[in-house]
Amino acid sequence: VKKKTVSKIYVFINDTLKPFIKLHTNIPEMIRTTDGEELIVPCRVTAPDIHVKLRMIPGENIIPDGKTVIWDNTKGFVIPKATYKFIGLLSCETTVNGHEYSTKYLTFRLNNEIISVQVNDSKPVKLFKGQSLVLNCSITAAWNTRVQITWTYPGEASKRATISRSIRQRKDGPNLFYSILVVDKVHGID
């Protein structure tokens, strides 16, 4: 039986003028997060003894506790099981020789959870030639879910209908997406 030995060496190159390996001051680096999965805020440093603070902007410092938030000078801040609380603008900050440095990260979460879809109410729509057809599609979706409502109808090529869209964003619950299709003076082919 052959044994395999593996080792890693991480080398710090001390740079007092550039304490962070990558500096994102004007445009934050985007980091995609998933609920319950590990999130790494990669504010790696050029020296192992640089003290770094993680701050939510606007807001308070996020204190590493060794369990929910861990500081690793070779990786940055490690959050083993990230939640929605870590979504937003984060700043890694340090002071070296009296100079303050910060690097920014913007965390975001994509979601694909459609809670409900409704077209008008559940009753069939009945109308006569010459009347207006109005169909209202409303979708209830979880935060950060992207919704696109597309209408296909016989008079589409001649643009016989008008379509209006709106979103009702709520801070305390799911978002509501609306799309209304209106066909004026319905013809037999509609």
Q: What is the rounded distance in angstroms from the CA atom of residue 170 to the CA atom of residue 185?
A: 36
Q: What is the rounded distance in angstroms from the CA atom of residue 142 to the CA atom of residue 175?
A: 6
Could you tell me the fold of the domain covering 114-183? Immunoglobulin-like (2.60.40)
Q: pTM of this prediction?
A: 0.61
Q: How confident is the model at residue 122 (pLDDT cuts 50, 70, 90)?
A: low
Q: Chain-wide mean pLDDT for the chain?
A: 88
Indicate if the pLDDT at residue 38 is higher than 70.
yes
Q: What is the rounded distance in angstroms from the CA atom of residue 22 to the CA atom of residue 76?
A: 11
- DSSP structure class, residue 28: P
Residue type, 80: P
Return residue ranges of the chain for CATH 2.60.40.10: 29-108, 114-183
pLDDT in tens, 164-176: 898 888 877 888 9
Indicate if the pLDDT at residue 110 is higher than 80.
no
Q: What is the rounded distance in angstroms from the CA atom of residue 84 to the CA atom of residue 92?
A: 19
Q: What is the rounded distance in angstroms from the CA atom of residue 38 to the CA atom of residue 45?
A: 20
Please name the residue that has the structure tokens 């369990």. 67
Query: How is 62-94 classified by DSSP, letter by letter?
Result: E---SSSSEEETTTEEEETT--GGG-EEEEEEE
Task: Give percent of the chain with pLDDT exceeding 90.
Answer: 45
Q: Please give the structure tokens belonging to residue 132.
A: 């207006």
Q: Please give the structure tokens belonging to residue 42.
A: 């990669």
HSE-CB at 2 with a 13 A cutoff on CA atoms is 3
Question: In the CATH hierarchy, which top-level class contains the domain 29-108?
Answer: mainly beta
Q: At 84, phi and psi to the nearest 5?
A: -60, -20
